[in-house]
Chain A
Amino acid sequence: MSQKVLLTGKEVNIILHRLACQLIENHTHFKDTVLVGLQPRGSFVAERLKQILVKEYGIEDLKLGLLDITFFRDDFRRSSQHLEANKTTIDFVVEDKRVVFIDDVLYTGRSIRAALTAIQSFGRPAEVELLTLIDRRFSRHLPIQPNYRGRQVDAINEERVKVNWKENQGEDVVYLIK
């Protein structure tokens, strides 16, 4: 098994700032917008983006929730892996809000399909957008594309994209593992 660095910590930081600016372009004051990080790994991207938006761009009252999609997945009893649930913390109503889903890697699109169903438990959003740090194009099983993408990657199915964060692995870095 070999691994190649796709993005260094510095590059991740630049990309996160660009994504934050793109969000501001579309959502200005975030008055009717809520960010929703998809558990488990989307939560790191979401928290970082929130930090940048609040501290560096002075966005006030930014709402961030974390959504777990385990019970909405379509591979329950079909996967050899045991599904591990995570905490959902959405303490606001999403009814008529502009929801931005945030995840680290967009691969088959099935997690996003599950998230689209799961978010309905909290109301009917006015619209849903998708932000993803890495977009593995050519791997989609469903017609789902991101509105905001950090870096597009061409990776074959046998390869794996791994995103490490300072918070859980000690450094920000994205690997392509062959």
Chain B
Amino acid sequence: MSELSVNHLLGIKYINEKDIQLIFETADHFKEVINRPIKKVPSLRDITIANLFFENSTRTRLSFELAEKRLSADVVNFSAASSSVKKGETLIDTVNNILAMKVDMVVMRHPNPGAGVFLSKHIDASIVNAGDGAHEHPTQALLDSYSIREKLGDVTGKKVVIVGDILHSRVALSNIYALQLQGAEVMVCGPKTLIPKYIDSLGVKVETNLKKALEWCDVANMLRVQNERMEISYFPSTREYTQQYGVTKSLLNSLNKEIVIMHPGPINRGVEITSEVADSNQAIILDQVQNGVAIRMAVIYLLASKIK
């Protein structure tokens, strides 16, 4: 097995197509492992991992923790809400204190874009970015592509539309990088106010009409409107947003093909996607969650193999 070209996973921007394929092939093996009666391997029994969550998370934190534990790593958890960060400690001081306890790897979610890159320049431990502000969320993009590969056989040549709040979404940016590296065509769709001004520089198509976007695509990745990152109003009302950009069963039925529906969660049922669609056979939302553990096991395993 070859190795990753990087010592940290800070974003999809910093890895290449071969890295992605290596992660997927390794995740295939771990997916088999997590379906065994005993879902654990002893590979990382001498590795300690700190999960540093400076921002709220349920799914990602659980998924990382489960992945680490299934690899037999020792895990310490930290959440900013109950820490000395509230007392004014800097990021480097917080992390260095944790590293002084002999931690080998850091999984970090942080509200500031670039927090992972910044940290990687100051500490020796391997870093996995679990989301940095509106910048990147690499493991989510990897599990999204992995789920497309699993459902449709390949990512290359597929047409993927990312719908919703592109402006505030780290999932969107990481997905765009990952899908393009694998040769997929990418479109973003949403109200003009929620599409970044310089989106053209990423080489993606832009569409403001949801029906046209869905007619074009093989896969629609529905994003949540991130109200918590909005300081101003980007659309008149949630009701109007839903009317324009909510996916309903009747809309899907009106298309001349069956498309795959994805959602990184958490879902706002009845806003960007109806319950009927979220629970339908076209949706692979829970597959994404299961694949998330296998992908994170693969990323952690491959990065840990580079720790000497």
- Asked if B37 contacts A71 (CB within 8 A), the reply is no
Contacts of A70 in B (CB 8 A): 29
Contact of A120 among B25, B29, B38 (CB under 8 A): B38
Q: Which 10 A-B pairs have the closest CB atoms?
A: A71-B41, A84-B1, A121-B38, A85-B29, A121-B36, A82-B1, A71-B43, A76-B43, A82-B3, A88-B32
Given contacts A77-B308, A122-B36, contact A117 B42 (CB under 8 A): yes
- Asked if B29 contacts A71 (CB within 8 A), the reply is yes
B40 within 8 A of A: yes
Q: Tell me the interface secondary structure of chain B in the complex.
A: loop
Cα–Cα distance between A123 and B36 once the two chains are bound (Å): 9
In the complex, how many residues of chain A place their beta carbon closer than 8 angstroms to a beta carbon of chain B? 21
A138 within 8 A of B: no
A83 within 8 A of B: yes
Contact with A along B16-58 (1 / 0, CB 8 A): 0000000001101100110011111111101000000000000
Cα–Cα distance between A93 and B37 once the two chains are bound (Å): 9
Given contacts A70-B29, A82-B1, A87-B29, contact A77 B307 (CB under 8 A): yes
B256 within 8 A of A: no
Chain B's closest residue to A89 (CB) is: B32
Given contacts A71-B29, A71-B33, 14 further A-B contacts (CB under 8 A): A68-B29, A70-B29, A71-B43, A76-B305, A77-B46, A77-B308, A82-B1, A83-B305, A85-B25, A85-B29, A88-B33, A117-B42, A121-B33, A121-B38
A57 within 8 A of B: no
B304 within 8 A of A: yes
Contacts of A85 in B (CB 8 A): 1, 25-26, 29
Cα–Cα distance between A68 and B37 once the two chains are bound (Å): 16
B2 within 8 A of A: yes
Contact with A along B279-308 (1 / 0, CB 8 A): 000000000000000000000010011011
Can you identify 27 A-B contacts, CB atoms within 8 angstroms? A70-B29, A71-B42, A71-B71, A72-B41, A72-B43, A73-B43, A76-B43, A76-B44, A76-B305, A77-B304, A77-B307, A77-B308, A82-B1, A82-B2, A85-B1, A85-B25, A85-B26, A87-B29, A87-B32, A88-B32, A88-B33, A93-B37, A120-B38, A121-B36, A121-B37, A121-B39, A122-B38
Give the interface of B toward A (CB within 8 A).
Answer: 1-3, 25-26, 28-29, 32-33, 36-44, 46, 71, 301, 304-305, 307-308
Contacts of A120 in B (CB 8 A): 38
Contact with B along A83-103 (1 / 0, CB 8 A): 111111000010000000000
Contacts of A84 in B (CB 8 A): 1
Chain B's closest residue to A84 (CB) is: B1
Chain A's closest residue to B22 (CB) is: A82
Cα–Cα distance between A71 and B73 once the two chains are bound (Å): 13
Chain A's closest residue to B38 (CB) is: A121
Cα–Cα distance between A158 and B79 once the two chains are bound (Å): 52
Cα–Cα distance between A87 and B294 once the two chains are bound (Å): 15
Give the interface of A toward B (CB within 8 A).
Answer: 68, 70-73, 76-77, 82-88, 93, 117-118, 120-123
Cα–Cα distance between A122 and B40 once the two chains are bound (Å): 11
Chain A's closest residue to B40 (CB) is: A121
Give A87 Cβ to nearest chain B Cβ, in Å.
7
Cα–Cα distance between A85 and B301 once the two chains are bound (Å): 12
Contacts of A118 in B (CB 8 A): 41
Contacts of A73 in B (CB 8 A): 43
Contacts of B26 in A (CB 8 A): 85
Chain A's closest residue to B297 (CB) is: A71
Interface centre among A82, A83, A87 (most CB of B within 10 A): A82
- Asked if A82 contacts B305 (CB within 8 A), the reply is yes
Contacts of B2 in A (CB 8 A): 82
Contacts of A117 in B (CB 8 A): 42
Cα–Cα distance between A120 and B2 once the two chains are bound (Å): 28
Contacts of A93 in B (CB 8 A): 37
Contacts of B308 in A (CB 8 A): 77
- Asked if A123 contacts B305 (CB within 8 A), the reply is no
Cα–Cα distance between A70 and B32 once the two chains are bound (Å): 13
Cα–Cα distance between A71 and B301 once the two chains are bound (Å): 9
Interface centre among A70, A71, A117, A121 (most CB of B within 10 A): A71
Cα–Cα distance between A70 and B307 once the two chains are bound (Å): 17
Chain A's closest residue to B1 (CB) is: A84
